[in-house]
Protein backbone atom coordinates (compact mmCIF):
# COMPACT_ATOMS: atom_id res chain seq x y z
CA UNK A 1 0.00 0.00 0.00
CA UNK A 2 1.15 3.45 -0.92
CA UNK A 3 0.60 5.52 2.21
CA UNK A 4 -1.11 8.86 1.89
CA UNK A 5 -1.10 9.39 5.67
CA UNK A 6 0.19 12.51 7.27
CA UNK A 7 -0.74 15.15 4.75
CA UNK A 8 -4.44 15.82 4.34
CA UNK A 9 -5.37 16.95 0.86
CA UNK A 10 -8.21 19.43 0.36
CA UNK A 11 -9.85 18.48 -2.94
CA UNK A 12 -12.65 20.36 -4.68
CA UNK A 13 -12.81 18.54 -8.04
CA UNK A 14 -14.94 15.36 -8.02
CA UNK A 15 -12.84 13.80 -10.81
CA UNK A 16 -9.67 14.17 -8.70
CA UNK A 17 -11.23 12.22 -5.83
CA UNK A 18 -12.39 9.48 -8.20
CA UNK A 19 -8.92 9.19 -9.76
CA UNK A 20 -7.33 8.95 -6.28
CA UNK A 21 -9.88 6.34 -5.20
CA UNK A 22 -9.49 4.24 -8.37
CA UNK A 23 -5.72 4.21 -7.93
CA UNK A 24 -5.96 3.11 -4.29
CA UNK A 25 -8.57 0.46 -5.07
CA UNK A 26 -6.27 -1.10 -7.66
CA UNK A 27 -3.63 -1.29 -4.94
CA UNK A 28 -6.01 -3.15 -2.64
CA UNK A 29 -6.46 -0.22 -0.23
CA UNK A 30 -9.73 -0.11 1.75
CA UNK A 31 -11.41 3.28 1.48
CA UNK A 32 -13.61 4.68 4.24
CA UNK A 33 -15.96 7.63 3.75
CA UNK A 34 -17.76 9.97 6.12
CA UNK A 35 -20.12 12.33 4.26
CA UNK A 36 -20.91 15.51 6.25
CA UNK A 37 -22.33 19.00 5.88
CA UNK A 38 -19.46 20.36 7.99
CA UNK A 39 -19.93 22.15 11.34
CA UNK A 40 -18.26 19.06 12.73
CA UNK A 41 -18.84 18.05 16.35
CA UNK A 42 -17.95 15.06 18.51
CA UNK A 43 -20.57 12.97 16.74
CA UNK A 44 -18.71 13.40 13.45
CA UNK A 45 -15.41 12.87 15.27
CA UNK A 46 -16.65 9.48 16.46
CA UNK A 47 -17.59 8.52 12.86
CA UNK A 48 -14.19 9.64 11.59
CA UNK A 49 -12.35 7.69 14.31
CA UNK A 50 -14.36 4.54 13.62
CA UNK A 51 -13.63 4.89 9.89
CA UNK A 52 -9.94 5.51 10.58
CA UNK A 53 -9.79 2.22 12.52
CA UNK A 54 -11.74 0.24 9.92
CA UNK A 55 -10.07 1.49 6.72
CA UNK A 56 -6.66 2.16 5.17
CA UNK A 57 -7.62 5.47 3.57
CA UNK A 58 -10.24 7.96 4.64
CA UNK A 59 -12.30 10.60 2.84
CA UNK A 60 -14.50 13.13 4.64
CA UNK A 61 -16.77 15.25 2.46
CA UNK A 62 -17.96 18.68 3.56
CA UNK A 63 -20.86 19.79 1.40
CA UNK A 64 -23.90 21.73 2.53
CA UNK A 65 -26.20 20.11 0.01
CA UNK A 66 -28.77 22.68 -1.16
CA UNK A 67 -31.21 20.08 -2.53
CA UNK A 68 -31.99 18.63 0.89
CA UNK A 69 -33.11 21.96 2.34
CA UNK A 70 -36.68 23.22 1.91
CA UNK A 71 -37.35 26.79 0.73
CA UNK A 72 -38.19 27.93 4.32
CA UNK A 73 -35.23 26.10 5.87
CA UNK A 74 -31.83 27.15 7.17
CA UNK A 75 -29.59 26.68 4.08
CA UNK A 76 -28.26 30.26 4.12
CA UNK A 77 -27.57 30.38 7.84
CA UNK A 78 -26.35 26.78 8.20
CA UNK A 79 -23.02 27.02 10.12
CA UNK A 80 -19.88 26.76 7.93
CA UNK A 81 -16.80 26.90 10.20
CA UNK A 82 -14.55 25.48 7.47
CA UNK A 83 -11.15 26.21 9.08
CA UNK A 84 -12.18 24.46 12.32
CA UNK A 85 -13.67 21.55 10.33
CA UNK A 86 -10.45 21.07 8.39
CA UNK A 87 -8.40 21.19 11.59
CA UNK A 88 -10.57 18.47 13.13
CA UNK A 89 -10.19 16.31 10.00
CA UNK A 90 -6.43 16.86 9.97
CA UNK A 91 -6.14 15.97 13.66
CA UNK A 92 -8.11 12.75 13.11
CA UNK A 93 -5.92 11.53 10.25
CA UNK A 94 -8.28 12.15 7.33
CA UNK A 95 -6.53 11.68 3.95
CA UNK A 96 -8.88 13.66 1.69
CA UNK A 97 -11.17 16.48 2.73
CA UNK A 98 -13.55 16.65 -0.25
CA UNK A 99 -15.19 20.06 -0.57
CA UNK A 100 -17.10 20.18 -3.87
CA UNK A 101 -18.92 23.31 -5.01
CA UNK A 102 -22.67 23.23 -5.63
CA UNK A 103 -21.90 24.13 -9.28
CA UNK A 104 -19.72 21.02 -9.64
CA UNK A 105 -22.34 18.79 -8.03
CA UNK A 106 -25.32 20.28 -9.89
CA UNK A 107 -24.14 21.67 -13.24
CA UNK A 108 -26.62 23.08 -15.79
CA UNK A 109 -28.88 20.33 -17.14
CA UNK A 110 -28.71 18.27 -13.95
CA UNK A 111 -32.05 16.54 -13.40
CA UNK A 112 -31.70 12.97 -12.08
CA UNK A 113 -33.47 12.16 -8.82
CA UNK A 114 -33.04 9.12 -6.59
CA UNK A 115 -36.04 8.50 -4.37
CA UNK A 116 -36.78 5.90 -1.70
CA UNK A 117 -40.51 6.46 -1.36
CA UNK A 118 -41.36 3.93 1.36
CA UNK A 119 -38.78 4.96 3.92
CA UNK A 120 -39.00 8.66 3.05
CA UNK A 121 -42.76 8.86 3.39
CA UNK A 122 -43.17 9.42 7.14
CA UNK A 123 -41.57 11.38 10.01
CA UNK A 124 -38.84 13.67 8.69
CA UNK A 125 -40.13 13.08 5.17
CA UNK A 126 -43.56 14.42 6.13
CA UNK A 127 -42.10 17.52 7.76
CA UNK A 128 -39.57 18.09 4.98
CA UNK A 129 -41.15 17.04 1.64
CA UNK A 130 -38.10 16.99 -0.69
CA UNK A 131 -35.46 16.41 1.97
CA UNK A 132 -34.90 12.69 1.49
CA UNK A 133 -34.84 12.80 -2.32
CA UNK A 134 -32.10 15.41 -1.88
CA UNK A 135 -30.26 13.13 0.56
CA UNK A 136 -30.67 9.98 -1.56
CA UNK A 137 -29.49 11.76 -4.70
CA UNK A 138 -26.45 13.41 -3.13
CA UNK A 139 -25.40 10.22 -1.32
CA UNK A 140 -25.62 8.27 -4.62
CA UNK A 141 -23.50 10.96 -6.27
CA UNK A 142 -20.94 11.05 -3.44
CA UNK A 143 -20.64 7.25 -3.51
CA UNK A 144 -20.10 7.45 -7.29
CA UNK A 145 -17.36 10.06 -6.83
CA UNK A 146 -15.58 8.62 -3.76
CA UNK A 147 -16.20 4.89 -4.46
CA UNK A 148 -15.70 3.90 -0.83
CA UNK A 149 -15.73 0.37 0.53
CA UNK A 150 -17.37 1.54 3.77
CA UNK A 151 -19.41 4.66 4.54
CA UNK A 152 -20.27 5.70 8.08
CA UNK A 153 -23.43 7.43 9.27
CA UNK A 154 -24.62 8.52 12.71
CA UNK A 155 -27.54 6.79 14.38
CA UNK A 156 -28.85 10.23 15.39
CA UNK A 157 -30.25 10.61 11.85
CA UNK A 158 -31.88 7.20 12.04
CA UNK A 159 -34.29 7.59 9.14
CA UNK A 160 -31.47 8.88 6.93
CA UNK A 161 -29.30 5.86 7.79
CA UNK A 162 -32.19 3.47 7.06
CA UNK A 163 -32.78 5.23 3.72
CA UNK A 164 -29.11 5.00 2.76
CA UNK A 165 -28.99 1.28 3.61
CA UNK A 166 -32.10 0.74 1.48
CA UNK A 167 -30.83 2.63 -1.55
CA UNK A 168 -27.40 0.98 -1.44
CA UNK A 169 -29.08 -2.44 -1.45
CA UNK A 170 -31.67 -1.48 -4.06
CA UNK A 171 -29.19 0.12 -6.48
CA UNK A 172 -26.43 -2.47 -5.90
CA UNK A 173 -23.98 0.29 -5.00
CA UNK A 174 -21.71 -2.15 -3.19
CA UNK A 175 -20.87 0.14 -0.26
CA UNK A 176 -20.97 -1.23 3.28
CA UNK A 177 -23.01 1.10 5.52
CA UNK A 178 -21.90 1.31 9.16
CA UNK A 179 -24.08 3.19 11.63
CA UNK A 180 -22.39 4.55 14.76
CA UNK A 181 -24.10 5.30 18.11
CA UNK A 182 -25.35 8.81 18.81
CA UNK A 183 -22.90 10.97 20.75
CA UNK A 184 -24.59 13.03 23.48
CA UNK A 185 -23.90 16.04 25.66
CA UNK A 186 -23.54 15.19 29.39
CA UNK A 187 -27.25 16.00 29.92
CA UNK A 188 -28.31 13.60 27.14
CA UNK A 189 -28.95 16.04 24.27
CA UNK A 190 -27.87 14.40 21.00
CA UNK A 191 -25.04 16.33 19.37
CA UNK A 192 -26.15 18.21 16.26
CA UNK A 193 -24.77 21.06 14.19
CA UNK A 194 -28.15 22.74 14.69
CA UNK A 195 -27.84 22.87 18.51
CA UNK A 196 -26.04 26.22 18.10
CA UNK A 197 -29.41 27.72 17.09
CA UNK A 198 -30.82 27.09 20.61
CA UNK A 199 -31.17 30.01 23.07
CA UNK A 200 -30.00 29.38 26.66
CA UNK A 201 -33.56 28.59 27.79
CA UNK A 202 -34.19 26.31 24.81
CA UNK A 203 -30.87 24.57 25.41
CA UNK A 204 -31.90 23.90 29.01
CA UNK A 205 -35.22 22.39 27.88
CA UNK A 206 -33.80 20.41 24.93
CA UNK A 207 -32.75 17.20 26.79
CA UNK A 208 -36.45 16.56 27.37
CA UNK A 209 -36.59 14.84 23.97
CA UNK A 210 -34.03 12.22 24.99
CA UNK A 211 -35.70 11.83 28.40
CA UNK A 212 -39.02 11.15 26.71
CA UNK A 213 -37.42 8.45 24.51
CA UNK A 214 -35.81 6.94 27.63
CA UNK A 215 -39.22 6.90 29.34
CA UNK A 216 -40.65 5.07 26.31
CA UNK A 217 -37.83 2.52 26.41
CA UNK A 218 -38.34 2.05 30.15
CA UNK A 219 -42.05 1.42 29.59
CA UNK A 220 -41.21 -1.28 27.04
CA UNK A 221 -38.77 -2.87 29.48
CA UNK A 222 -41.52 -2.80 32.13
CA UNK A 223 -43.67 -4.85 29.76
CA UNK A 224 -45.75 -2.29 27.89
CA UNK A 225 -46.22 -3.76 24.40
CA UNK A 226 -48.84 -1.58 22.75
CA UNK A 227 -47.24 0.99 20.46
CA UNK A 228 -49.82 3.67 21.24
CA UNK A 229 -49.33 3.18 25.02
CA UNK A 230 -45.57 3.68 24.66
CA UNK A 231 -46.21 6.79 22.58
CA UNK A 232 -48.46 8.21 25.35
CA UNK A 233 -45.68 7.65 27.92
CA UNK A 234 -43.25 9.58 25.72
CA UNK A 235 -45.70 12.41 25.01
CA UNK A 236 -46.45 12.79 28.75
CA UNK A 237 -42.79 13.60 29.43
CA UNK A 238 -42.62 16.36 26.83
CA UNK A 239 -45.97 17.85 27.89
CA UNK A 240 -44.36 18.97 31.19
CA UNK A 241 -42.53 21.74 29.36
CA UNK A 242 -44.71 24.31 27.58
CA UNK A 243 -41.84 25.64 25.40
CA UNK A 244 -41.37 22.25 23.72
CA UNK A 245 -43.81 21.14 20.98
CA UNK A 246 -44.00 17.53 19.85
CA UNK A 247 -43.66 17.00 16.09
CA UNK A 248 -43.83 13.23 16.44
CA UNK A 249 -43.00 10.54 18.99
CA UNK A 250 -43.42 7.10 17.48
CA UNK A 251 -42.62 3.42 17.95
CA UNK A 252 -41.47 1.97 14.63
CA UNK A 253 -40.02 -0.97 12.81
CA UNK A 254 -36.27 -0.19 12.55
CA UNK A 255 -36.04 -1.29 8.89
CA UNK A 256 -39.27 -0.04 7.28
CA UNK A 257 -39.90 2.82 9.78
CA UNK A 258 -43.59 1.92 9.75
CA UNK A 259 -45.35 2.43 13.13
CA UNK A 260 -45.67 -0.69 15.26
CA UNK A 261 -49.04 -1.58 16.78
CA UNK A 262 -47.31 -4.06 19.07
CA UNK A 263 -43.66 -4.11 20.18
CA UNK A 264 -42.52 -7.70 19.85
CA UNK A 265 -38.86 -7.75 18.81
CA UNK A 266 -36.79 -4.76 17.80
CA UNK A 267 -38.21 -1.28 17.71
CA UNK A 268 -36.91 2.23 17.24
CA UNK A 269 -38.39 5.09 19.20
CA UNK A 270 -38.30 8.09 16.90
CA UNK A 271 -38.84 11.61 18.17
CA UNK A 272 -38.88 15.16 16.94
CA UNK A 273 -39.71 18.28 18.91
CA UNK A 274 -39.69 21.96 18.18
CA UNK A 275 -38.32 24.69 20.46
CA UNK A 276 -39.28 27.99 18.87
CA UNK A 277 -38.13 27.66 15.27
CA UNK A 278 -35.55 24.95 16.02
CA UNK A 279 -36.49 21.34 15.22
CA UNK A 280 -34.57 18.60 17.02
CA UNK A 281 -34.63 14.87 16.31
CA UNK A 282 -33.44 11.88 18.29
CA UNK A 283 -34.09 8.14 18.57
CA UNK A 284 -33.48 5.05 20.66
CA UNK A 285 -33.28 1.42 19.59
CA UNK A 286 -35.01 -1.06 21.88
CA UNK A 287 -34.83 -4.85 21.81
CA UNK A 288 -37.59 -6.62 23.69
CA UNK A 289 -36.39 -9.33 26.03
CA UNK A 290 -32.80 -8.11 26.19
CA UNK A 291 -31.72 -6.14 29.27
CA UNK A 292 -29.76 -2.99 28.49
* 40 appears as a binding residue in the annotation: yes
* 222 appears as a binding residue in the annotation: no
Tell me the C-alpha distance between 150 and 147, whole Å. Answer: 9
The answer to whether the beta carbons of residues 271 and 283 sit under 8 Å apart is: yes
Catalytic residue among 44, 130, 131, 149: 44
Q: Which residues of 185-223 are buried (b: 16+ CB within 10 A; e: fewer)?
A: beebbbbbbebebbeeebbebbbbbbbbbbbbbebbeee
Phi, psi of 276 (to 5 degrees): 60, -125
DSSP 28: T
Judged by beta carbon, residue 6 or residue 28, the one nearer a copy of itself is 28
* 1 appears as a binding residue in the annotation: no
Instruction: Give the pairing of strands 244-252 and 266-275.
Output: antiparallel
CB of 162 to a copy of itself, least distance (A): 11
* 154 appears as a binding residue in the annotation: yes
Residues that bind a copy of itself (CB under 8 A): 14, 18, 25-26, 28, 109-119, 136-137, 140-141, 144-145, 147, 166-167, 170-174, 255-256
* 9 appears as a binding residue in the annotation: no
Judged by beta carbon, residue 86 or residue 147, the one nearer a copy of itself is 147
Judged by beta carbon, residue 13 or residue 50, the one nearer a copy of itself is 13
CB of 4 to a copy of itself, least distance (A): 18
Judged by beta carbon, residue 143 or residue 210, the one nearer a copy of itself is 143
CB of 125 to a copy of itself, least distance (A): 13
44 is catalytic: yes
Show Cβ contacts of residue 42 under 8 Å, excluding neighbours closer than 6 positions: 183, 191
Q: Which of 95, 19, 20, 90 minimizes the C-alpha distance to 57?
A: 95
CB of 140 to a copy of itself, least distance (A): 5
Three-class DSSP category at 5: coil
Which residues are tagged catalytic? 44
Residues in the annotated binding site: 37-44, 68, 154-157, 160, 183, 191-194
Amino acid sequence: MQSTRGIMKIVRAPAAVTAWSDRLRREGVTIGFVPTMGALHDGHRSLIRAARLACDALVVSIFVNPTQFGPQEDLAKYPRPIARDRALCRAEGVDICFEPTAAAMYPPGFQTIVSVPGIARRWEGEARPHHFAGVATVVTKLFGIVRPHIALFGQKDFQQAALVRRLVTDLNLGVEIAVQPTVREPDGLAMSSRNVYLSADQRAAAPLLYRSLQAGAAAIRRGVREGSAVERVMADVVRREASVTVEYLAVCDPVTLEPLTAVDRRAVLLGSVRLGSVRLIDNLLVTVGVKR
